[in-house]
């Protein structure tokens, strides 16, 4: 094998690793999607998001850590924020104070529900996480990952905004900051 071919072969794994890191960084920094266009659908799919158009939201039902039963039907006519997280996820932890502040401000107008992904963490660690951070909005473990799969969530954190008809209005993958969160919630209330 000549030296040029050998150098090229050795660089390929590093190039592929670099491309993978850039893709992960892009997802972790967050993205905002509304109605999909064909090019946006490709970007969304690459970021782990659904390429389907907004529409009827899948069911969200279960027993919360400290607020009793939760069901979307309990919030008919009210927009809903559905946040997918897990305790050992640093970006999830980073956005929780902004979610709590938004709940404090909008909780009477918009229903909030946190969905804990199980796998790396147990329901007990999820309950401890919620208590440690002083979160007062309902959160629950996603037993058997049913809600996660129904919403096609494979990147954390992910926040799904449902309009008052409980149709998916928007998805946000990655950390959502205070400014973007406020903008999304104001749009839900205006719609």
pLDDT in tens, the chain (191 residues): 555 555 455 665 554 554 544 344 434 444 444 333 333 333 343 343 444 444 589 999 999 999 999 999 999 999 999 999 999 999 999 999 999 999 999 999 999 999 999 988 999 999 999 999 999 999 999 999 999 999 999 999 999 999 999 999 999 999 999 999 999 999 999 98
Q: What is the CATH number of the domain that holds 19?
A: 3.40.30.10
Which pTM value belongs to this model?
0.73
CA proximity to 88, closest of 118, 54, 52 = 118
Phi, psi of 130 (to 5 degrees): -60, -45
Q: Count up the domains in the chain and report the number.
A: 1
User: What's the rounded Cα separation, in Å, for the pair 96 and 83?
Assistant: 10
Q: Residue 35's domain spans which residues?
A: 3-190
């Amino acid at each position: 094998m000549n030296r040029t071919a050998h150098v090229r072969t050795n660089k390929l794994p590093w190039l592929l690793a670099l491309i993978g890191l850039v893709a992960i960084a892009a997802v972790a920094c967050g993205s905002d999607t509304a109605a999909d266009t064909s090019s946006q659908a490709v970007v969304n799919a690459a970021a782990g998001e659904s390429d389907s158009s907004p529409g009827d939201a899948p069911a969200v039902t279960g027993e919360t850590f400290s607020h009793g039963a939760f069901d979307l039907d309990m919030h008919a006519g009210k927009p809903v924020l559905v946040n997918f997280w897990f305790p050992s996820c640093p970006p999830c932890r980073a956005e929780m104070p902004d979610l709590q502040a938004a709940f404090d401000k909008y909780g009477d107008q918009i229903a909030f529900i946190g969905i804990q992904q199980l796998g790396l963490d147990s329901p007990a660690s999820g309950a401890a996480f919620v208590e440690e951070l002083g979160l007062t909005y309902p959160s629950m473990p996603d037993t058997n990952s049913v809600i996660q799969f129904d919403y096609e969530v494979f990147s954390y954190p992910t926040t799904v905004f449902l309009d008052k008809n409980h149709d998916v209005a928007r998805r946000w993958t990655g950390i959502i900051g205070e400014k973007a969160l406020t903008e999304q919630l104001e749009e839900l209330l205006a719609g």
